[in-house]
Structure 1
Amino acid sequence: MIQSIVHIALVVNDYDEAIAFYTKKLHFTLVEDTYQPEQDKRWVVVAPPGSVGTTILLARASNPEQEPFIGNQTGGRVFLFLNTDDFWRDYNEMVSKGIEFVRAPQEQAYGMVAVFKDLYGNLWDLLELNASHPIAKRIEGRG
C-alpha cells in the first residue's frame, strides 16, 4: 500500500495576503489558485521551493466559527516544520524580510532549529536536520 499526505489546510484571513507572504517572504511556489464559484471560495495551494511532498492548502475562514483559529490552529504549539538545506542562509534572509523569530537558533541533537511566526501568528520550526536523522534520510531517499 502506498499513501501520502497531500495537503495540510491552513486557515487564513485572506487568500491574497497569505499568497503574498508565502511566495514573497518564504519563496514558496504557488501551485494552484482556482476559483470555485459554486462555493464562492478559492482552492489555493502553495509548496516550499524544491518540495515534491506535502503542500499547504490556504483555506480562508468561511464562517465565524473558523475565524478564532486563524493563527492558532494548534493552541500555541509549533504547527508546521520547514526543513532546509541551509539553515543560516534561510534564517538570515527571513530575518531581513521581517519575519519574527520567537525562539533563537539552537543546535539540537537532531540539527539546527529556530521558531518563527507566519503572518497570522502560527508557529513554525525552521530546521536543518542532521544528515543522520531518520527524516533527513527519507527526504534524501536513503531511508
Structure 2
Amino acid sequence: MITGFGLVCLNVLDLDEARRFYVDVLGFEVGIDREMDGFRWLTVHAPGRPDMPMMLVVPQPPVVEEPIAGQLRSLIARGYLGIGALSTDDCWATYTQLKAKGVEFTEEPEERFYGIDAAFRDPFGNHWRLTQPKTLDQIRATE
C-alpha cells in the first residue's frame, strides 16, 4: 500500500543558486547536502517537515544523458516543467513577504474554488503555485 510521497525531484540549473533560493528566500530547510560518487545530493523541505523532502537535481550526465539533458534544461528555463503548489496559511501575507525578497510573481493572489492562489517562478523558470487551500468540506459546500 502506498502511504505517501517519499521524495519529489525538481530539476534546476544550478544547485548552489537553488539552495540559496529555496532556503534563504522561501524558507525551506536543508535535509541532505553531500557529494557521493561524483553526484551531489541536495534535499530541502518545508520547516519541520523532513518527511516530505524535495531533491534538487541538475539534469546533466550521469543522471541524464545528452541531448535529453539539454532539452530538459531548455524546458526548465522556459517554465514548462512546473511541479505543483506550495501551501501557506496566508497567501496574501506570504505573497507580500516573498515579493519583498524579490520573488518573481506571475499572478497575484486570487480567490478560487479551492482556496486563494498565486503563481511565481524560481530563478530557473520553474513555475510554482502558492496556495492557501480550503478544506475538502469547504470545497464541497460550494458545489
Rounded to whole Å, the distance in 2 between the matches of 1:50 and 1:128 is 18
TM-superposed CA distance for 1:53, in Å, is 4.5
Q: Give structure 1 regions of 4+ aligned residues with deviation exceeding 4 angstroms.
A: none
Gaps of 5+ in 1: 135-143
Number of residues paired by the alignment? 132
CA distance in 1, matches of 2:34, 2:58: 13
1:92-117 residue CA offsets vs partner (Å, 9 max, x unmatched)? 01100111111221101111000100
Equivalents in 2 of 1:49, 1:67: separation in Å? 33
Aligned to 2:141: none
The aligned counterpart of 2:121 is 117
Aligned to 1:18: 18
* Native 8 Å contact 1:11 1:58 kept in 2: yes
TM-score of the superposition, structure 1-length normalised?
A: 0.80
Q: Is the 8 A contact 2:79 2:126 kept in 1?
A: no
Q: What amino acid is aligned across from residue 68 of structure 1 in structure 2?
A: Q
Identity of aligned residues (%): 31
**Aligned partners of 2:43, 2:50: CA distance in 1, in Å?**
13
- Per the TM alignment, residue 126 of structure 1 is displaced from its structure 2 partner at its CA by 0.2
Cα distance in 2 for partners of 1:102, 1:70 equals 21
The corresponding residue for 1:99 is 103
Spell out the pairing of 1:64-143 with structure 2 (5 A cutoff). 64=66, 65-70=68-73, 72=75, 76=80, 78-130=82-134, 132-133=135-136
Where do 5+ consecutive residues of structure 2 fail to align? 138-143
Spell out, residue by residue over 1:31-55, the C-alpha distance to the aligned partner (whole angstroms, 9 max, x if none).
111211x2x1111100122335432
Q: Which one has the bigger helix percentage?
A: 2
- RMSD value, Cα: 2.3
2:140 counterpart residue number: none
TM-score (norm 2): 0.80
CA 1:72 to 1:15, structure 2 compared with 1: closer, same or farther past 3 Å? same
CA gap 1:117/1:17 in 2 versus in 1, 3 angstroms: same
For the residue of structure 2 that corresponds to 1:66, the secondary structure is: helix
Give CA-to-partner distance per residue, 1:1-39, whole Å, 9 cap, x none: 353211111122221111011001100000111211x2x
